[in-house]
Amino acid sequence: MTDKFYEFFCPVKVIAGKAALEHIPYELSGLAAKRPMIITDKGVRAAGLLDPVVSACEESGLDIVSIYDDVPPDSSKAVVRDIAGIYRSEKCDSIIAVGGGSAIDTAKAVNILVSEGGDDIAKYSGAGVLKHPLKPFFVVPTTAGTGSEVTAVAVIADTEKHVKLPFTSSFLLPNAAIIDPRMTLTLPPHITAATAMDALTHATEAFTCMAKNPLSDAYATAAIKKITGNLLKVMDSPKDADGRLELAQASTMAGIAFSNSMVGLVHALGHATGAICHLPHGLCMSLYLPYVLEYNLETIREPLGELLLYLDGADVYAATPASRRAEAAISAIRRMRDALYKRCELPRTLKETGKVLESQLDDIARAALDDGAIMFNPKEVSLDDAKAVLARAWA
Amino acid sequence: MLAKRIQPMFFQARRLYVELMFQVMGRALQAVSEIDETVQQEANALPEGFLFEMMVMPDGARLIVEHTGNGRFRYLGDSAPRAVDLSIQFKHIAHAFLVLSFQEKTSVAFANDRMLVDGDISRAIRMTRILNRLEAFILPKLIAKRAVKEYPENIHLPEKLLNAARIYLKVATNFVETVKA
């Protein structure tokens, strides 16, 4: 009897492509929602990204009842409570998150409070606490990397206790994710590069870590193909709407992949580095990916070799002996990083970031060992192993 | 027909096996924390009074240990004096049996969604490292390799045998004391 087992779940309706935003009114009406609230941040508003969302709704006679545009980069319990208060006083009945990871996580947490009641979001922290569907919730991502529009988790800071509160429930998943190329068209080059590398890391770890499964594999490989085929094109022609859409879809697909098969040591090191050195998440992913793949190499030789097909194309895959494909896959990722460095100076080593001290590496290693992602890394990681990977990533 | 008759006996035997393994593991966790410095260092990062639980959902067998300070655990049996701080919950007794009979590694069980973590994930990772080290000591290498992701190369045979003997002795003593009490 087989000993294989997996679970796969993604009930999010994906609405992607040209004029996707204009589907929002119809989709909301299908859920009997008439009074939506938008949750976003100042950067999104300043970039003019709210205008097409609002006008798409107003043109269909759907008024946006309230817009909260002050979500900070690291959202807190107080922010969630305040937004929930506005939602209630304005008698809203649905939420549209427009933004990146923080706005989306905040909106997920607000949806818990306004659906379940109360003012203390900490009460709902943990896994499986929620037992009922929440209010209608749509997500419009404005970066192509986090995949938060298809993940069942949210993280909110408890600034009084200095801890991060995790929330995990399939009820956090939005009813729909709206992927419109207009939303990522103005992303600056270094954010385009870092977020795309974030998505590439999601897909690569999903395909090589312990909880990989046939369905997440399909999403992961398709995402990698879209990223390698379009990232440099978009870097050279930022207004390439087709390329932008491909990257945004890749991000969503990579999000579906990793939320069903988890991630590994790249994320463990990245989370630790982000917490200690305050480096952006996507940059950390780009930075650590090849070094961790080298560390895991003998455990993941077969799946990593398969990825060469999607990273470098059929010709290179066919011309590379099977025994060398895993190394060639890592080389392809390194070439991608070099090309991005040339275009926007996206750092390839910790030293190149200019924000990490060599004396911080031990703290990063220790913090990484306690990160949840390390559980799913295919190879056991000791403190010395983590330090060795960091030393290689240093310069 | 025969299979149908045997099935209830199998279920009963499986339940008893899981209960017994939890009792052994709970006592062994206490024992290993008394003799192994690495485990003590890992446990020392947990707050004093920290309560750890492993259980089978919805209300099946369970083990509870408390961190009493200085990296030492105390086995509390199957009832906690207050709300536990961290609970690792098997979704079904069949999943607990797979792990406790070393047919599925703990890490694979996590990856396969056999278990839920209620509490701080980083502490769950720490407790898993402690459990892995315990298993590396008390199980024969061939079986331990089936239980942990990677058998630690730095545990050599004399250390393993000595520690295993000390842990089993402490577990046996604890069992006798429990029966006497």
Please name the residue of chain B whose CA is at the shortest distance from the CA of residue A370. B122
In residues, how long is chain B? 181
Record: contact A127-B107, CB cut-off 8 A? no
Q: Are B65 and B131 in contact (CB under 8 A)?
A: no
**Chain B residues bordering chain A (beta-carbon distance below 8 Å):** 103-104, 107-108, 110-113, 116-119, 121-126, 128, 148-150
pLDDT value at residue A162: 76
| Higher-pLDDT residue of A75, A322 | A322
| Higher-pLDDT residue of A239, A159 | A239
pLDDT value at residue B48: 96
Distance CA B175, CA B181 (A): 10
> How many Å lie between the alpha carbon of A376 and the closest alpha carbon of chain B?
6
Interface test with A, best of B88, B89, B104, B125 (most A CBs within 10 A): B125
pLDDT value at residue A165: 86
pLDDT value at residue A212: 95
pLDDT value at residue B1: 65
pLDDT value at residue A73: 87
pLDDT digits (tens, 9 = 90+) for B109-159: 999 999 988 888 889 999 999 999 999 999 999 999 989 998 988 888 888
Give the CATH number of the domain where residue B95 resides. 3.30.1050.10
* Of A111, A227, A97, the residue nearest A149 (C-alpha): A97
pLDDT digits (tens, 9 = 90+) for A232-288: 999 999 999 999 999 999 999 999 999 999 999 999 999 999 989 989 999 999 999
pLDDT digits (tens, 9 = 90+) for B13-63: 999 999 999 999 999 999 999 999 999 999 999 999 999 999 999 999 999
Inside any domain, residue B10 = no
Q: Does the pLDDT at position B4 exceed 90?
A: no
pLDDT value at residue A264: 96
Q: Does the pLDDT at position A127 exceed 80?
A: no
Interface TM-score (ipTM) > 0.95:
no
Measured between beta carbons, the chain B residues lying within 8 angstroms of A369 are: 125
> How many Å lie between the alpha carbon of B4 and the closest alpha carbon of chain A?
20
pLDDT digits (tens, 9 = 90+) for A38-60: 999 999 999 999 999 999 999 99
Distance CA A211, CA A209 (A): 6
**Residue at token pair 């993940």:** A151
CATH number for the segment(s) A187-394: 1.20.1090.10
DSSP three-state, residue B74: strand
Whether residue A322 lies within 8 A of chain B, CB to CB, comes out as no
Q: Is A356 exposed, middle or buried (0-12, 13-18, 19+ CB in 10 A)?
A: buried
| Amino acid, res. B48 | E
The tokens for A187 are: 């992303």
Q: Does the pLDDT at position A1 exceed 70?
A: no
Q: Does the pLDDT at position B81 exceed 70?
A: yes
Residue A11 preceded by cis peptide, ω within 30: no
Inside any domain, residue B148 = yes
Which of A211, A370, A380 faces B149 most closely, judged by CB atoms?
A: A380
Range of the domain at B164: 16-176
* Of A104, A95, A87, the residue nearest A28 (C-alpha): A95
Residue ranges covered by each domain of chain A: 13-182, 187-394
Q: Does the pLDDT at position B73 exceed 70?
A: yes
Distance CA A316, CA A332 (A): 10
Which CATH architecture does the domain made up of A13-182 adopt?
3-Layer(aba) Sandwich (3.40)
Task: Tell me if domain A13-182 and domain A187-394 are identical in fold.
Answer: no
Distance CA A115, CA B126 (A): 34
Distance CA B45, CA A168 (A): 25
Side by side, the strands of the sheet bearing B62-69 are B72-75, B62-69, B51-56, B86-90, B115-118
Record: contact A376-B111, CB cut-off 8 A? yes
Inside any domain, residue B8 = no
Domain count, chain B: 1
Which of A210, A369, A372 faces B111 most closely, judged by CB atoms?
A: A210
Whether residue A374 lies within 8 A of chain B, CB to CB, comes out as yes
The number of beta carbons lying within 10 Å of the beta carbon of residue A135 is 20
Q: Are A52 and A84 in contact (CB under 8 A)?
A: no
Reported confidence tier of residue A10, pLDDT bands at 50, 70, 90: very high
